[in-house]
């Protein structure tokens, strides 16, 4: 669509002609009014205060012909050169105004001179209420560090579920409801990826601290961030009532989705397309206490789910949990179920509502060693293949992912319109056409972005292949576990399972005169006398 077409369409509309008639009338009145000579110093239309950006815009615009009549209007309005406009001028002016309308909201401003008032009227200023952000940004870093320290202290040193619980309440109240759950550590991973890969994306200090601090703590103490600091985890933890057990195979499969989510979140953030974690955050609208109907249903659905399934978002979606899991699996310290030694009493077996307690391997029927080795060797051999296949497969789908980038989807729409494949224009394409950027520029930019997506999709696919292959290898590794142990990758250090351990009861001195006995290969616990 060229400019002339655009103009035609605008003048045709009813609104415009009605408006035009009115303005003609009014302008006739305005222009005939005589003005005091003292006013005639400068014409407001040409004064310095004219918006410089607008001027620049006008210069850049290719509408030189349309621009001229505008200057004419100013000359006409300038009392020093034409104090008594005649009828001929008036019709000329009306035509000028018509032409001015055509230029549209983008380029036409300063149509009417700004009056100088005889009365004492003072023009009010535009108020600029400041964002509260900066103070809170620094403050929040300290609160976060403090909460992380407390969580680690409660979980590892005090082994206190009560402490963790109150910390959870605090986090939901402060990070959640008071600070509106934004920026959270989970979302900050997108800002960091964008800062790493996307030119011109800046990273405020608060955001990077929210990303790094929980990971550092996880490297030393396990996922104490999840225990009672993360606003998303807190919400799910607090509504959890009675959990149903999910079959191991199902949770094993579902626990792969966080890797997918993480991969896509990084891809879309790094290409500057979207922050999908923020967009599909199920709890934020509850913390903000706003949102339209569908988001509310989505959020309440998730909360409802969390009542019966322990932390569904954490276990089966959270992309940040993947990073925390890596750190935690190799952490320096980590919570243990028992404060002492495992007596294999099996009391803790079902104590974890999230199913992160691993049973001793002795319970399984051992596979013939040779067979196991063979399979393991095959998986290891297949790993590079999986990486390649994954990368190739996703790179073929790059155009699908690229659509999420606003520029790419705009270019696609424009292309279709040019081909005449779609009957109507959309708001986006209309806007684009009024901005006067050549279509070729847009298409070039879109191609550039698509190229980045191609590379990104290769890396992403390779990552998925790696994750999948490693999971297969891990599942077929021989198990040497002899005690009931916590799965360090998944465990949120919530301290729930502790109390089920008899040794913990001894530590708490709830059980006195406890004695352990061993019969054959098993430990037996004899409790002579209970405290109450």
Residue ranges in contact with ligand SF4 by CB under 6 A: 186, 226, 230, 232-233, 313-314, 318, 320-321, 324, 335, 351-352, 354, 356-357, 486, 491-497
Closer residue to ligand SF4, CB minimum distance, 316 or 463: 316
CA distances to 206, 336, 351, 392 from 356, in Å: 32, 12, 9, 34
Compute, in degrees rounded to 10, the torsion defined by CA atoms 380, 382, 384, 389.
-150
Closer residue to another protein, CB minimum distance, 257 or 434: 434
Closer residue to another protein, CB minimum distance, 216 or 250: 216
The partner in contact with residue 318, picked from ligand SF4, another protein, none with C-beta cut-offs of 5 to 8 angstroms by kind, is ligand SF4
The partner in contact with residue 313, picked from ligand SF4, another protein, none with C-beta cut-offs of 5 to 8 angstroms by kind, is ligand SF4
Q: State the CB neighbour count (10 A cutoff) for residue 125.
A: 6
Closer residue to another protein, CB minimum distance, 288 or 454: 288
Closer residue to ligand SF4, CB minimum distance, 113 or 233: 233
The partner in contact with residue 226, picked from another protein, ligand SF4, none with C-beta cut-offs of 5 to 8 angstroms by kind, is ligand SF4
- Asked whether the CA dihedral 349, 354, 358, 364 is positive or negative, the reply is positive
Alpha-carbon distance of 493 to 89, in angstroms, equals: 83
CB of 436 to another protein, least distance (A): 12
159: left (phi over 0), alpha (psi -120 to 50) or beta: left
Query: Which of residues 96, 152, 190, 503 is near another protein by CB under 8 A?
Result: 190
Q: Does 195 bind another protein (CB under 8 A)?
A: yes
Closer residue to ligand SF4, CB minimum distance, 79 or 315: 315
Q: Which stretch binds another protein (CB under 8 A): 185-193, 338-346, 354-362, 371-379?
A: 185-193
CB of 119 to another protein, least distance (A): 5
Site string for another protein, 122-151 (x = CB under 8 A): -xxxxxxxxxxxx--x--------------
Q: Are strands 522-530 and 485-486 parallel, antiparallel or unpaired?
A: unpaired
Q: Does 275 bind another protein (CB under 8 A)?
A: yes
Q: State the CB neighbour count (10 A cutoff) for residue 366.
A: 10
Q: Does 85 bind another protein (CB under 8 A)?
A: no
Query: Which of residues 149, 204, 272, 360 is near another protein by CB under 8 A?
Result: 204
- 315: Cβ contacts below 8 Å, ≥ 6 apart: 251, 254, 255, 321, 354, 490
Contact predicate 195/212, CB 8 Å: no
Burial-class residue 93 by CB neighbours within 10 Å (0-12, 13-18, 19+): buried
Q: Which of 71, 84, 65 is nearest to 43 (CA)?
A: 71
CB of 468 to another protein, least distance (A): 21
Closer residue to ligand SF4, CB minimum distance, 240 or 324: 324
Alpha-carbon distance of 434 to 313, in angstroms, equals: 43
Contact predicate 210/188, CB 8 Å: yes
The partner in contact with residue 509, picked from another protein, ligand SF4, none with C-beta cut-offs of 5 to 8 angstroms by kind, is none
Query: Which of residues 7, 74, 238, 278 is near another protein by CB under 8 A?
Result: 278
Q: Are strands 485-486 and 357-358 parallel, antiparallel or unpaired?
A: antiparallel
**Which residues, 461 to 520, sit near another protein by CB under 8 A?**
none
Contact predicate 517/526, CB 8 Å: yes
Q: Does 95 bind another protein (CB under 8 A)?
A: no
The partner in contact with residue 133, picked from ligand SF4, another protein, none with C-beta cut-offs of 5 to 8 angstroms by kind, is another protein
**Which residues, 165 to 184, sit near another protein by CB under 8 A?**
180, 182-183
Q: How many chain residues interact with another protein (CB under 8 A)?
A: 87
Closer residue to ligand SF4, CB minimum distance, 211 or 401: 211
Q: Which of 478, 440, 492, 518 is nearest to 225 (CA)?
A: 492
CB of 323 to ligand SF4, least distance (A): 9
397-403-404 Cα angle (round to 5): 110
Alpha-carbon distance of 102 to 9, in angstroms, equals: 10
Query: Which of residues 105, 294, 371, 532 is near another protein by CB under 8 A?
Result: 105
């Amino acid at each position: 669509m060229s400019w002339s077409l655009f103009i035609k369409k605008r003048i045709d509309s009813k609104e415009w002609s009605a408006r035009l008639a009115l303005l003609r009338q009014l302008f006739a009145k305005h222009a005939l009014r005589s003005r005091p000579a003292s006013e005639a110093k400068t014409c407001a239309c040409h004064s310095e205060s004219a918006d410089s950006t607008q001027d620049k815009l006008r210069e850049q615009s290719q509408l030189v012909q349309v621009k001229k009549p505008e200057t004419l209007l100013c000359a006409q309005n300038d009392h020093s050169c034409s104090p008594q406009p005649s009828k001929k001028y008036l019709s000329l002016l009306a035509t000028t105004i018509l032409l001015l309308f055509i230029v549209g909201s983008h380029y036409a401003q300063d149509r009417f001179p700004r009056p100088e008032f005889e009365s004492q009227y003072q023009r009010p200023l535009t108020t600029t209420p400041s964002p509260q952000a900066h103070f809170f940004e620094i403050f929040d870093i300290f609160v976060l560090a403090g909460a992380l320290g407390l969580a680690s202290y409660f979980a590892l040193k005090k082994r206190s579920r009560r402490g963790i619980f109150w910390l959870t309440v605090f986090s939901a109240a402060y990070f959640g409801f008071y600070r509106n759950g934004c920026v959270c550590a989970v979302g900050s991973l997108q800002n960091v990826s964008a800062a790493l890969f996307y030119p011109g994306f800046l990273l405020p200090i608060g955001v990077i601290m929210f990303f790094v601090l929980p990971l550092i703590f996880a490297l030393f103490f396990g996922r104490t961030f999840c225990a009672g600091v993360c606003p998303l985890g807190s919400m799910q933890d607090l509504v959890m009532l009675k959990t149903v057990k999910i079959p191991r195979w199902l949770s094993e499969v579902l626990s792969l989705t966080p890797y997918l989510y993480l991969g896509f979140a990084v891809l879309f953030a790094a290409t500057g397309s979207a922050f999908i974690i923020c967009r599909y955050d199920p709890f934020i609208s509850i913390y903000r206490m706003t949102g339209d109907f569908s988001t509310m249903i989505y959020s309440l659905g998730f909360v409802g789910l969390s009542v019966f399934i322990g932390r569904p978002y954490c276990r089966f979606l959270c992309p940040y949990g993947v990073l925390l899991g890596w750190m935690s699996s190799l952490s320096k310290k980590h919570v243990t179920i028992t404060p002492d030694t495992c007596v294999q009493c099996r009391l803790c077996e079902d104590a974890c509502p999230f199913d992160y307690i691993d049973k001793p391997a002795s319970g399984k029927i051992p596979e013939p060693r040779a067979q196991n080795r063979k399979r393991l060797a095959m998986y290891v051999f297949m790993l590079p293949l999986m990486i390649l296949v994954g990368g190739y497969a996703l790179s073929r789908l790059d155009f699908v992912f690229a659509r999420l980038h606003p520029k790419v989807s705009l270019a696609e729409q424009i292309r279709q319109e040019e081909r005449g494949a779609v009957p109507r224009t959309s708001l986006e394409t209309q806007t684009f056409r009024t901005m006067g950027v050549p279509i070729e520029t847009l298409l070039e930019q879109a191609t550039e972005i698509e190229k980045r997506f191609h590379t990104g999709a290769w890396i992403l696919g390779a990552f998925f292949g790696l994750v999948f292959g490693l999971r297969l290898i891990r599942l077929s590794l021989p198990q040497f576990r002899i005690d009931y142990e916590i799965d360090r990758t998944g465990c949120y250090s919530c301290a729930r399972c502790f109390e089920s351990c008899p040794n913990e009861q001894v530590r708490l001195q709830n059980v006195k005169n406890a004695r352990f006995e061993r019969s054959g290969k098993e430990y037996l616990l004899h409790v002579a006398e209970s405290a109450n």
